[in-house]
Structure 1
Amino acid sequence: MISIRDIRRDNLQRLVERYDSMKSLNEILDRKDNHLTQILNQSMNTATGKPKQMGDRLARDIEKKLNLGFGWMDQDHSAEPPEPKNIVTLDRLDVEAGCDPSGGPACTDVAVVERIQVSVDWFKQNISRFRTIGHQLVTARGDSMEPTINSGDIVVVDVRDTDVTKEGIFCLNYGGGVTIKRIQVLPFGVEFISDNKLYNSFVLKGQELEAIKIIGRVVTALCVKKFPHGI
């Protein structure tokens, strides 16, 4: 029987392959140390005289940050087919970003509901030429960002780009839920703009901005259109 230590180490190797390198995996996990490398290489723990291993806290933290689902690191995935090379996997989350002034629905336990695989070439042409990691898919709901983003569109969020000083369209936590707004930085605060002119923009400043958590920049909208029979 495979030990939990070996299962977690094998899954760590699987994640390194998924994200191309340990360096890329550490970047998306926002880790600055070499602890994962030491676990993978079975470096000796000088305190115990045994190989370093992944504890429960680290395993749960990886699962949470990568939206793998609770317990993924403890499951044996060796029977699953290896992920193909030159493929980018995009996780679609069970998150609806409300495009309305009051924000979206509450978002607590986030899970991956679908994985979409695209070629690296397609990804670079349609989503980002700069890097292929750190992008997630959420569903837009509401009409306040029309015609830029329509209700039902799948938007690609770059969760590693939260710099609002560059301005643009962002996915953010506000008002108890997730929403999408165009952001413009002003001398006295930050303006949150709806592209649909029927909706008013609003400005937050000072301590009011503490209520905002930037999830990431919206870089692409994958428009989903349904056509009736006969068209």
Structure 2
Amino acid sequence: MTPNSSVQVAPNINMVTNFPSDSQGRLIATMPDDTMDGEIECRATIIIDNQPRKYLEDGIFAFFADGIFMVKRLQFLPDGILVLPNNKHYLDWKIEPSGDCNLVIIGRVVLSLSERKH
């Protein structure tokens, strides 16, 4: 994977994760937190398209940042990647190419499934 940004992205994500997959080979995970509330609810099941892409476009991605699993909107800029939580209680932050952040993008989130508890 090579983004339209100078931040490096690991090309082989399968060596860092063992998520189960659906019948189409997409990965299945659980939204780990409430940072995307309003878009993806905490503990919702998410489907991640992890097919290799030559260029990444802005969108919601599952990734590891310094070994922590995250799901956030990413905006690819010429000088880094802007991380944009949907929940107003969390701040935006930037991953810069010269920074110490180890970023591994797993793939784009293509579906979220929330369960209603009654």
* TM-score (normalised: structure 1): 0.40
Distance 1:147 1:164, change over 3 A: farther
1:183 to 52, 74, 99: 74
Report whether the alignment pairs 1:143 with 2:59.
Answer: no
Checking the alignment, whether the CA contact within 8 Å between 1:139 and 1:154 is kept in structure 2 is yes
Matched AA of 2:68 = G
Distance 1:135 1:199, change over 3 A: same
Report whether the alignment pairs 1:110 with 2:1.
Answer: no
- Give unpaired runs (5+ residues) of structure 2: 1-11
Matched AA of 1:211 = N
**Distance (Å, rounded) in 1 between the aligned partners of 2:81 and 2:30:** 24
Per-residue deviation, 1:162? 5.2
CA RMSD of aligned residues (A): 2.6
Q: Deviations over 1:66-106 (max 9, x none)?
A: xxxxxxxxxxxxxxxxxxxxxxxxxxxxxxxxxxxxxxxxx
Q: Deviations over 1:106-148 (max 9, x none)?
A: xx77364xx766xxxxxxxxxxxxxxx3311100121111110
- Give unpaired runs (5+ residues) of structure 1: 1-29, 31-64, 66-107, 118-132
Aligned residues: 105
Distance 1:209 1:220, change over 3 A: farther
1:1-231 matches, cutoff 5 A:
110=18, 112=20, 133-161=24-52, 165-208=56-99, 211-227=102-118
Checking the alignment, whether the CA contact within 8 Å between 1:143 and 1:150 is kept in structure 2 is yes
Distance 1:209 1:110, change over 3 A: same
Q: Which one has a larger percent helix, Structure 1 or Structure 2?
A: 1
* TM-score (normalised: structure 2): 0.75
Q: Which one has a larger percent strand, Structure 1 or Structure 2?
A: 2
Q: Percent identity?
A: 26
Distance 1:159 1:111, change over 3 A: closer
Which structure is larger by alpha-carbon Rg, 1 or 2?
1
Checking the alignment, whether the CA contact within 8 Å between 2:67 and 2:102 is kept in structure 1 is no
Q: Which runs of 4+ in 1 moved over 6 A?
A: none
**Distance (Å, rounded) in 2 between the aligned partners of 1:156 and 1:111:** 10
**Distance (Å, rounded) in 2 between the aligned partners of 1:159 and 1:109:** 11
